[in-house]
Structure 1
Amino acid sequence: MADAEKGQGAAPAEAGPPSRRKKRILIGAAFAILLVCLGAVLTRQALQRQTPPAATQTASETGVVRLQELVQAHPAYGDLQKLLQERTELKARLQESTALPAPLAVQPPEIEQKPFDDSVWQKNAQDVIGRRAELERAQKKAAADYKASTEEDYKARRDAINAEYLNAILNIKLKLDNREAMGLSDETVAKLNADLDDLEAERGGRQIALYRDWQQEIAGYAKASVEKDFAASHENLEKLQAQRQTEAAKAQSEAQQRDIAAISEQMQASAARQQQALATQDALEENEQKILALESKILNDIASKAAKVAILHHFTLIVCDPARSLASLLPDDFRPAAGPDVPEKYVKTVSVDATDVTDEVLDELESDPPAND
């Protein structure tokens, strides 16, 4: 029903007059053209937004030079290397000389006398012991010789004593052996035994006395035979001791003089090393001044040639690669200690649009080398 009603309502509209239909067609066409134009405008604007504007090409105002190549090409670079090598050698020499202790004025130590006295005492003791042993051997030999020469006489005197008592002792013994046959009483036998003991004791006493006298005679002879040598030996030992005391005092003095000479020599050598160190320090300072002056000259020459190139290119600035770090420009007392985090003396130059004119400055150096002062 609804569709039918719509169909019925639409039929009269299509059946309108021709002028009205033409008007509608023109309005639709105009609207379509407007849409097309609007799309073109929007598309153009979108394309303009997506496409970046062309960069304005301008001339570079900064130049850059590779400093190391220019320094090595400078005519004075060889002299600079010689000065740097000389500085290394001077530093090594200075370090070697200052590693030794400084000279000190010291008094040589006193040499103790006791070791020398002990040495003299030991030598004297050895002499005394040796001489005494020698005299004892001589004395024993003299005693043995005297004993051998007088032994027969001693035995003869001993036998003479035996002979004096032999008959009396023999008679008493015979009586005792035959007491029964002789009918001796007990009192008589006892008296005979007592007499026998007295005779034998008297004979033994005389023999012992004879032996002692003979031994004393041997000892006296042996002692007398070495008395002269003993006195001479004692005198010689006293002279030898005095001589050794003198030698010990001389050795002590010589040892003291050697110590004095050794210490004096060491002090002189140390003082000479210190003088050498001072001379090396002066030479090192002079070398440092020459290095600084020559480095300054080389850099000034490069700067003058770079300034000429800058004028030709209308540069406002020429930088070096590598450039001097700020830390290296500080005084020594404020400069950071060496380490992995400490900036180097020269650092890499960061440049965006700088023009490298190293070759041009190099040509200037080669074509017009600076004069050596």
Structure 2
Amino acid sequence: MAEHPEERKAGGRRRRQLLVGVLLAVLLLIAGAVLMRTLLHREAAAPPQAAAEVGVVRLQELVAAHPDYDKLQELLKRREEIRSSLDDQLAVPLTVQPPAVDRQPFDDSVWQKSAQDVIGRRSALERAQKKAAADYRKATEPDYKARRDAINAEYLNDILNLKLKLDNRQAMGLTDETVAQLQAQLEDVEGERAARQIALYHAWQQEIQSYAEKSVAKERAGQEAGLGGLRARRETEAARAQSEAQARDAEMISKRMADSVQRQQQAQADQQALAANEQAITALESRILNDIAGKAAKVAILHHFTLITCDPARSLSSLLPAAFRPAAAPDRPEKYVKTISVSAEDVTDEVKAELADLSPEEESSAPAKS
């Protein structure tokens, strides 16, 4: 059967389309081979180098380059000065002991001018008076101590409450005016207690002296009956010497009490100054590190870094609670350790240049020294 003309035309079109498709496929294969060869040749000739993604800075140099570094050194030096002063105040006991009074004759020269028998009788009389004073002192000492302790007990609660409030002033949120009022109250209460103790001590000593004198008053009157003018002179000189000795004792006790109160006040002032200094150091260190972190972040953006590390870096052991720190140094762990890096780029100088743009005036000033 003869092929229809239309069928011959359709068959010719299909053959031409098939031939064109095969030709295009061959051309694509050739082009892909050429492109692959070119890419492989480029990679073999000049392999690309990956850019650093991590930067590193030398932290100690940056801290020293900060405008407030000198201010930080002054605060650290001030802290050592305060600690030294506080150690000096606490090295001396803050309690006051009554001075040991030597009850020897006030003026032996008066008796040396008298006859030997008068000297002997007077010595015997003084020995009897001293013995009476010692016996009375021993018998009344428990009562004196009980009255002294009773005075302490009267003021104990007030003093403890005032000191407790002062020690917890921050937790209680007390104002400076309230703290000053509490300190003034504490000084008044302690001063009143000290004055009553001193008065009690002097009254007890006077009581002992009076008892001793009364115990030998009759014998003394007999001995002095024949002494005439010597008796009046002896009494005058003895009274003056005794008064001077008592005045010296009172002055010594008062001076020691004043010195003790002054050392207590200085110790409290040093403790307050040390706490304020520690706060100032912490705040200034935090501000310096924040400034460094801010400038490092800027440099990181310019270099397209994903991370900037510090050298030295903070030791993980220093962040642990005290109970979990290494046994070698539980209270003083190593705070910083050396940073180990292979391909990190050192950008310390760039961050240091950024810090140079800062000035102490642009930052909030550190807390004043106490």
Provide TM-score, normalisation by structure 1.
0.49
Structure number with greater Rg is 1
TM-score relative to the length of structure 2: 0.49
